[in-house]
Homo-oligomer: A and B are copies of this chain.
């Protein structure tokens, strides 16, 4: 049986940063991945390709004010594919240079020092000193009649995707961030969008104050709130999706395409339970150093259910690496109050830290200060006056959260997160002369209103 200092299950953002760091420190490392390639769902069918499409559509939207241009969906996909192929190549090169092996296969945990991998060449047992479970998530598909007619995000985003032309119309089942992002760019490109959401609002698990401000700014789409899907069936060239609302009233929408966007679930590796690793419905249970109840076994990224974000997974992966390098001591910790989260709708919506609803829940008195995009030079230049930037402070004027809707949301949120991480105050933001004329000016402007 081959022995490694460190084995990772998965080769995505939850695994490879640790693998590289540990290899550099002299540990022997192997990554096990069912796709056999590095970077996981994020690059294969997630954040990178969706962002490639969304950014291009956003740029197109901005320029549309200046003429009656047309842009081809196939060209957008070409750019997307190019980025994915380029990044796959970069990753292969990095692996080679570091001398790290990826074993293609599916891992099964045997015990606290052994893992078994089903590969094309048969089952292989590996011995380890430290294990990092970074197995990620899978797309949850509910039991609906005709579910086989529905596409998933992978059909839109993987290299050479199934959906090659902009559907004339689309029914999107699920109003979470994947559903709403897709709805957003499809609508701008000209699709008729029918969004079906079980609850009474979109982005259900996010702060209603923030979502409530985003909603009126979204592109045209028809949202069926409080509706569940009963069945999908072929109907002419398209599909008929039958839905039923809370009162039992039934209706249907006919679209060229139906997409399931009902969320993702942590992918608990086989053998987890038998090996005595504790987990629950949200994922594998870890402490703030990503250690499971077995101290030499770590769970990082989506599989622990703490923060379903690629950048959080990377950080957690490095935390595991730091602890492994210190003899499984919890020397590094995940600070979950300062992770930025962006929904790539058009406009973007970002938030971090304690948002208003959370503050109310926790009974924290807060002071909020707002900067409106309508007053921002750059937003005016882009003709995107909707949205705002809100900073949230506690009574000592320390920043505890913030959100941005509109221009540069996904950029600005980082500095707010840094403020959270380092305990910065309203004065710290007010006194930094942010670059003019950029929307970052809103950070000092908003903070200054309190003085």
Say whether A92 faces chain B, with CB atoms less than 8 Å apart: no
Give A421-451 as 1s and 0s: 1 = Cβ < 8 Å from B's Cβ atoms. 1111000100111111110110110001011
In the complex, the answer to whether A414 meets B432 with C-beta atoms within 8 Å is: yes
List 14 A-B pairs, Cβ < 8 Å.
Answer: A13-B436, A21-B451, A25-B326, A63-B69, A82-B380, A83-B380, A288-B396, A318-B448, A333-B396, A335-B396, A338-B432, A413-B435, A418-B418, A423-B423
With a CB–CB cut-off of 8 A, which chain B residues contact A408?
411
In the complex, the answer to whether B437 meets A47 with C-beta atoms within 8 Å is: yes
Instruction: Identify which of B48, B65, B314 contacts A433 (C-beta below 8 A).
Output: B314
- Nearest neighbor of A427 in chain B, beta-carbon distance: B427
Say whether A381 faces chain B, with CB atoms less than 8 Å apart: yes
A87-B377, A433-B312, A436-B42 known; A415-B413 Cβ under 8 A:
no
Report the separation of the CA atoms of residues A415 and B435 in the bound assembly, to the nearest whole angstrom: 10
A33-91 residues at the B interface, CB under 8 angstroms: 42, 47-48, 51-52, 55-56, 59-60, 62-63, 65-67, 69-72, 75-76, 79, 82-83, 86-87, 90
In the complex, the answer to whether A383 meets B438 with C-beta atoms within 8 Å is: no
Chain B min CB distance to A250 (Å): 40
Report the separation of the CA atoms of residues A413 and B408 in the bound assembly, to the nearest whole angstrom: 14
Chain B min CB distance to A60 (Å): 6
Binding site for B on A (CB under 8 A): 13, 21, 24-27, 42, 47-48, 51-52, 55-56, 59-60, 62-63, 65-67, 69-72, 75-76, 79, 82-83, 86-87, 90, 288, 309-312, 314-315, 318, 325-331, 333, 335-342, 350, 375, 377-378, 380-383, 395-398, 408, 410-415, 417-419, 421-424, 428, 431-438, 440-441, 443-444, 448, 450-451
- Nearest neighbor of A383 in chain B, beta-carbon distance: B79
In the complex, the answer to whether A435 meets B318 with C-beta atoms within 8 Å is: no
Report the separation of the CA atoms of residues A52 and B423 in the bound assembly, to the nearest whole angstrom: 35
In the complex, the answer to whether B288 meets A329 with C-beta atoms within 8 Å is: no
With a CB–CB cut-off of 8 A, which chain B residues contact A21?
451
Instruction: Identify which of B59, B327, B329, B413 contacts A59 (C-beta below 8 A).
Output: B59
Instruction: Identify which of B333, B415, B424 contacts A395 (C-beta below 8 A).
Output: B333
In the complex, the answer to whether A340 meets B66 with C-beta atoms within 8 Å is: no
A415-B415, A418-B428, A424-B422 known; A315-B87 Cβ under 8 A:
no
Chain B min CB distance to A169 (Å): 23
Closest 10 CB pairs of A and B: A423-B423, A25-B327, A315-B433, A311-B433, A311-B436, A26-B327, A411-B411, A335-B396, A310-B436, A340-B435
- Nearest neighbor of A338 in chain B, beta-carbon distance: B432
Chain B min CB distance to A290 (Å): 13
- Nearest neighbor of A90 in chain B, beta-carbon distance: B375
In the complex, the answer to whether A63 meets B52 with C-beta atoms within 8 Å is: no
- Nearest neighbor of A430 in chain B, beta-carbon distance: B318
Report the separation of the CA atoms of residues A444 and B311 in the bound assembly, to the nearest whole angstrom: 10
In the complex, the answer to whether B414 meets A55 with C-beta atoms within 8 Å is: no
In the complex, the answer to whether A55 meets B381 with C-beta atoms within 8 Å is: yes
